[in-house]
Structure 1
Amino acid sequence: MDLEIEGRVAVVTGAASGIGRATAGRLAREGCRVVAVDRQPIKIDADELGESAIAVEADVTDPDSVRRSVATTVATFGRLDILVCSAGIYETAAPFDLSADEWDRVHSVNLRGAFLCAQAAVLVMSETGWGRIVLLSSMAAQTGGMAAGSAYVASKAGVMGLTRSLAVHAGPLGITVNCVNPGIIETPMTANVEREALAARTPLRRNGTPEDVADMIAVLCSERSSFVTGAHLSINGGLVAD
């Protein structure tokens, strides 16, 4: 299926590893020019991300850092068409064991970061009247968290609400906003989760891969999803129903 996004400029946050890295590579294979954003340095592999890809170090919790990353994108490629907010952190604390500082830290990256990046991207996308934004929520927001802690669950539930709000306000500008809710995906973030036990409970009898999520994100970034906005796509092998 031709996704018709060749030549589009895509910013992917959290692109150093996991779902973010897989998504950056997937969009590159569709012909996108990729801006790989992360707090840590990213080594650009031309075979993976394309010869035109650039890496930008940025802190998604810092408005100035986010604005600079968007400005770098526009200065380099002249536009910004696609944003995938994959930057996130995970925690497992029960609500009664959770400190206020940890609560703020998780929300700052997972929810504030998504908001700041989307806000900055919409300002640029609105100039061309075309844009695709995909936020990452989580199955944990639908279940209350199997292994995830309260701050993570609440922050990802906030991402689902933010998706709906952004979709309402960005739609008239020609911009769609959707989110995906990954289940147990084999990434460094879930390294300490009981993956085998959860895979046994999953109808497809396996956990997901970053590529499973990246494939669906690519569709939401494409012309094939031009009438889809405000949607939440579960990618969990059937472990949890919507």
Structure 2
Amino acid sequence: MPTPAEPLPSSAELRRDPLPLRGRTALVTGASRRAGIGHAVARRLAAYGASVYLHHHVPHDAAMPWGADRPEAVADSVREALGDPGARVAAGPGDLADPAEPARLIDTVHQEFGRLDILVANHALSGSDGTLDDIDAAMLDAHWAVDTRSVLLLVQAYARTRAALPHDTPGGRVVLMTSGQDLGGGMPGEIAYALQKGALASVTRSLSTALADRGITVNAVNPGPVDTGYATGGFHAAVAARFPAGRWGVPDDPARLIAWLATDEAGWITGEVINSEGGFRR
């Protein structure tokens, strides 16, 4: 039999650490509502032992039908989930449509925690979109600025903070969010959003290759339809019927996957776009 390149893990190594992110820090963008995916991701990371910085942009949510949440209430909810008594939660605002904001946000996290290991780019622009007949240059530019440009600038600023660390420094993780725009019938009613989320899916492998020598993995997650409070009535029921389980995804469904991708167990997974859709039928 061929000899394994490395020895098999010991029994002790196979036992799962209940706090696999102890001592690490995470930035979760768009963590502004307790009903949202960002909040669920932050709670999972905190439960795994990480310190977490929550980014929010309240004016965006205030302009949406679902309305804004209180940032302090979101932060308190994440604090309740902290698994490591030495970990902390901090939060702050930022308009990521401003090209200077991504670097400022990364610097703020460094000032708060002294390091940054995990970047989850969860934010996105809602509204300001339409069909191919409806869209205009302003809509396209708005989604480009928030959904794509700011994400790439966040990754750039994050990677620069890791450049001086030894290659084998554990914990370098980037998780992007896409929307399954390349599956089934696409998103013909949200052309600008689908275009920019598709760009993130497309660039995932390129980013993973660019950052491999810094010990950083880069993956994207498509959470599928998740019930974050925006769907009601007949539309809500019709979408639920397209899941084999008969229910929408809930924020903690993709959060469990994203938190696992942040651990050392997922260290050999990079450059992937992973669908977490519960078998959703398009």
Give your verdict on TM over 0.5: yes
CA distance in 2, matches of 1:191, 1:103: 27
| Matched residue SS, 1:63 | coil
| Alpha-carbon offset, residue 193 of structure 1 | 8.7
CA distance in 1, matches of 2:88, 2:234: 36
1:181–1:234 contact (8 Å) kept in structure 2: yes
Alignment of 1:100-139 (within 5 A): 100-128=137-165, 129=167, 130=170, 131-139=172-180
CA distance in 1, matches of 2:259, 2:278: 18
For residue 31 of structure 1, the aligned residue among 49, 61, 64 is: 49
For residue 21 of structure 1, the aligned residue among 39, 43, 68 is: 39
For structure 2, list consecutive stretches of 5 or more residues without a partner in the other structure.
1-15, 59-69
Q: How many residues align?
A: 241
CA distance in 1, matches of 2:208, 2:188: 30
CA distance in 2, matches of 1:134, 1:221: 8
Matching of residue 9 in structure 1 with residue 25 in structure 2: yes
2:132–2:188 contact (8 Å) kept in structure 1: no
1:90–1:148 contact (8 Å) kept in structure 2: no
| Alpha-carbon offset, residue 48 of structure 1 | 4.1
| Matched residue SS, 1:133 | strand
Alpha-carbon distance change, 68 to 146 in structure 1, aligned in 2, over 3 angstroms? closer
1:12–1:24 contact (8 Å) kept in structure 2: yes
Partner of 1:217: 258
| Alpha-carbon offset, residue 90 of structure 1 | 3.0
Could you state the TM-score of these two structures normalised by the residue count of structure 2? 0.79
Larger Rg: 2
2:118–2:262 contact (8 Å) kept in structure 1: yes
CA RMSD of aligned residues (A): 2.2
Q: Which amino acid aligns with 2:160?
A: L
Matching of residue 75 in structure 1 with residue 126 in structure 2: no
2:37–2:252 contact (8 Å) kept in structure 1: yes
- Bigger drift between 45-54 and 108-117 goes to 45-54
| Alpha-carbon offset, residue 121 of structure 1 | 0.8
Q: Which amino acid aligns with 2:91?
A: A
Q: Which amino acid aligns with 1:80?
A: L
The percentage of counterpart residues that share the same residue type is 36
CA distance in 1, matches of 2:99, 2:20: 31
- Bigger drift between 109-118 and 226-235 goes to 109-118
Deviations 1:142-175 (A, max 9, x none): 3453575111111111010121111010011100
| Matched residue SS, 1:201 | coil
1:141–1:154 contact (8 Å) kept in structure 2: no
| Alpha-carbon offset, residue 204 of structure 1 | 2.3
For structure 1, list consecutive stretches of 5 or more residues without a partner in the other structure.
none
Q: Which amino acid aligns with 1:36?
A: L
1:147–1:193 contact (8 Å) kept in structure 2: no
1:9–1:34 contact (8 Å) kept in structure 2: yes
Alpha-carbon distance change, 123 to 55 in structure 1, aligned in 2, over 3 angstroms? same
Alpha-carbon distance change, 31 to 105 in structure 1, aligned in 2, over 3 angstroms? same
Partner of 1:42: 71
| Alpha-carbon offset, residue 102 of structure 1 | 1.1
| Alpha-carbon offset, residue 205 of structure 1 | 1.8
Deviations 1:198-239 (A, max 9, x none): 221222221100100110000111101000000111011112
| Alpha-carbon offset, residue 107 of structure 1 | 2.0
Q: Which amino acid aligns with 2:256?
A: D
- Determine which structure has the larger helix proportion and give its number: 1
